[in-house]
Structure 1
């Protein structure tokens, strides 16, 4: 029994409503929809349970507060309480829109969400206020997690069970409550889903909104552009980029008028900061050498980031089987994370839906997640040890676990890179071919028309390769 969803999203309509819309679904389509829902609904329940466990994992801090090093010893640290206090988020969204009010080091859409949640916190003791703020985010984060699971399954409806990589991910459990990154991730997931449904303008709007919440969606837009260059379908990519530019402009206009400093605040903080936790540029300091100055770390991060983008470009344009949007995005995002000046634990959430959409095996997911879990535990012991050296993790040992995490992320890149290379190259279609997606083709199977089974292709479906780059 297949686990595919029909292209028409009308399984929730009554028979009468369906008749008005053109008639009820046929017998086979109805069975397909029921099968898809039977796969997805348990995954939604699993995602809700994962998020509940993520809150339980913070129970010590919820009870005792987030002051001092106790939060590190118990592994329940979160950025949210300090953001609430230092950013004056209790003043609400209206204050955030003015230069003299609430502040946030996050991109403006994430900062707006934080300010909105802060405005909902009732008056009371400071600890009670921070509890309210964290639990309000827990509600929003759970909604985001459920949305990511649903969108992942809808993006690859013939393989909806891949959404289990999101619902059951140890990375989701550990990192969802650290910061508000899930907000950007759900926007990216919605944008990729809309692209797969051949709605490039709407996809661009969602990805543009995601850019104002996190920075990594720029890499997803770059992946779209690279695949557009490869296929020659630049018109569709152009509509997506136009939607993204319009969305970014609409979000930024209120801040340019009322609080222009908020637009560049996160970039300024990054530019001036020293290497952060999780970054390979922290290693000299961890092994007893002089720490890298912020300027040099910034320069090295930019230089190696450019090399990462070049590697992603080679992956997208090399001869052979065409990689999917998720595969190119994962390679770009992972390599940029590995070369960045900071790689906080919550940034790994960016990779979770991409792992699912790439169809990686659970073995590969757990190799990576295991490295993430070890690093998650040890980074807090290292931070706590900065104030209590005799109890904390020595810097040299933290360097070991940092490198282990780097190896886990690199493992994902290698598996995606080699996995695409291992797929037999399909027979080249005729230049005019523009075949629809075939619902009955199994994953990895080469179809008679020469088109691979790419549920994320969107407007690239059926397009022959127009530009390839061969490295000799």
Structure 2
């Protein structure tokens, strides 16, 4: 599976000490030597995300001021409105605490709320934001590590997570990082050929953020194409078990929490970032019922399109490619597309190995929309100072086009890949990634595993399997 790669020119490395010399130790090029700086960079990016919200940390998250300074965060708002200071027991037992998020994310939010010390409301929201910032930094570091460990031969691609401008802007807008980290852990476990562990982690991810259902769908479709459904079946059973265990306490103590996020979504009008909001911005809002209907139809079309992509290319696409297409198309079809939802794509971009040029094109559109959305929301209270609705619609569509561009790049690359069978390994040579899957990524012996670009490491159980089913549309 050959991809274009855009390695930075050696002259650009001068800022961090320059390229390695001829006599550098082999340790300097080891897997850990690549990953550890990226872990530090990921933590630094999260710290910059805190700095970006310094005005709100100082003045509080109140009124339109938080929008003018682009430092809005849903975390302090949820702490106040959801009575999360009463703690985890109150949330699980239904005694007042609530969160408009899937239950596992809500439980984490309530748990952190219970750690906030007494004080003024401003001090409590500061504490809550600080606790989330610490947890967010840990989640980012974990996501960077898991991304690098999922593709140890291409560990440097984890820089797409650690250094992503999207991460800097959106990391602390909401608790989405928790679900993103769990989804990344599930993909790592699948890459390591541990389907049961992958199922448990992806099941937890589903009850933290619903989009990992698309990861499970990708595994099912690719399992059908490759004939490796036994491993997928174990993953699905483990995922179902993890979901059931998490749901059980809520079924007993707080059953309304299970469907709360779904109910909020169902009853809401078109939200910020969604293409279904454009008619409203142009003065012709869609009623809630038709908006929900077209959204459901759009999501169905996205799922069908992603499935056809997985089954119809001449050469089987990778897990990362199929998941990125499914998630990207679903975001485009969604009833809302808030700024934090773009975090879902960041690890997938890294696992796919997108070129930095394409990453920065997408991130640039995200940054413009990030500023535009807050100026538009602030302008609702002061129209003479805010961004007009028509201009916000333009930035919204620019962002949608950039995500569509990412999906198109993935689809085009996979569709143009020649249907070339993998060469059979010789008796003295291990098959691609099959015999070397459990080796230490820093072990130089791993380089004996044939052509590393022939099989994608994230494919796990699908790696090297011949196609059993291909759908031809023409």
Following superposition, the deviation at residue 424 of structure 1 comes to: 2.8
Residue 249 (structure 1) aligns with: 244
Q: How does 1:170-249 map to 2 (within 5 A)?
A: 170-249=165-244
1:376 maps onto 2:370 in alignment: yes
Residue 7 (structure 1) aligns with: none
Following superposition, the deviation at residue 132 of structure 1 comes to: 0.2
Match of 1:423 among 409, 412, 417: 417
Match of 2:339 among 333, 340, 345: 345
Residue 431 (structure 2) aligns with: 435
Distance in 2 between the 1:275 and 1:442 partners?
A: 50
Bigger mean CA deviation after superposition, 216-225 or 91-100: 91-100
Following superposition, the deviation at residue 31 of structure 1 comes to: 5.7
Match of 2:159 among 157, 164, 169: 164
Distance in 2 between the 1:393 and 1:158 partners?
A: 46
Distance in 2 between the 1:285 and 1:441 partners?
A: 58
List gaps (5 residues or longer) in structure 1. Answer: 1-29, 447-451
Residue 348 (structure 2) aligns with: 354
TM, length-normalised to structure 2: 0.89
Distance in 2 between the 1:234 and 1:445 partners?
A: 25
Distance in 1 between the 2:396 and 2:129 partners?
A: 27
Distance in 2 between the 1:368 and 1:150 partners?
A: 23
- SS of the aligned residue for 1:457 comes to helix
Q: How does 1:35-434 map to 2 (within 5 A)?
A: 35-289=30-284, 291-427=285-421
Equivalent pair of 1:190/1:203 in contact (CA under 8 Å): yes
Distance in 2 between the 1:43 and 1:118 partners?
A: 30
- SS of the aligned residue for 1:424 comes to coil
Query: Which has the higher relative contact order, 1 or 2, with Cα contacts under 8 A spaced 6 or more apart?
Result: 2
Residue 464 (structure 1) aligns with: 466
- SS of the aligned residue for 1:390 comes to coil
Equivalent pair of 2:191/2:457 in contact (CA under 8 Å): yes
Q: Deviations over 1:325-355 (max 9, x none)?
A: 1110000000000000000000000000000
Equivalent pair of 1:442/1:453 in contact (CA under 8 Å): no
Distance in 2 between the 1:126 and 1:109 partners?
A: 25
Distance in 2 between the 1:359 and 1:400 partners?
A: 29
- SS of the aligned residue for 2:93 comes to coil
TM, length-normalised to structure 1: 0.90
1:417–1:92: structure 2 CA closer, same or farther, 3 Å change rule? same
Residue 15 (structure 1) aligns with: none
Residue 10 (structure 2) aligns with: none
1:63–1:326: structure 2 CA closer, same or farther, 3 Å change rule? same
Distance in 2 between the 1:76 and 1:89 partners?
A: 21
Bigger mean CA deviation after superposition, 437-446 or 110-119: 437-446
Distance in 2 between the 1:31 and 1:196 partners?
A: 26
1:425–1:445: structure 2 CA closer, same or farther, 3 Å change rule? farther
Large movers: runs of 4+ above 3 Å: 30-34, 433-436, 438-446
Distance in 1 between the 2:61 and 2:450 partners?
A: 47
Equivalent pair of 2:313/2:414 in contact (CA under 8 Å): no
Q: Deviations over 1:50-84 (max 9, x none)?
A: 01100000000000001100000000000011100
Equivalent pair of 1:81/1:134 in contact (CA under 8 Å): yes
Following superposition, the deviation at residue 320 of structure 1 comes to: 1.2
- SS of the aligned residue for 1:122 comes to coil
Q: Deviations over 1:16-47 (max 9, x none)?
A: xxxxxxxxxxxxxx968970000001101111
Residue 7 (structure 2) aligns with: none
Q: Deviations over 1:298-347 (max 9, x none)?
A: 00000011011111011100131211111100000000000000000000
List gaps (5 residues or longer) in structure 2. Answer: 1-24, 437-445
Following superposition, the deviation at residue 356 of structure 1 comes to: 0.2
Distance in 2 between the 1:332 and 1:391 partners?
A: 38
- Aligned-pair Cα RMSD in Å: 1.8
Q: Deviations over 1:165-191 (max 9, x none)?
A: 000000000000100000000101111
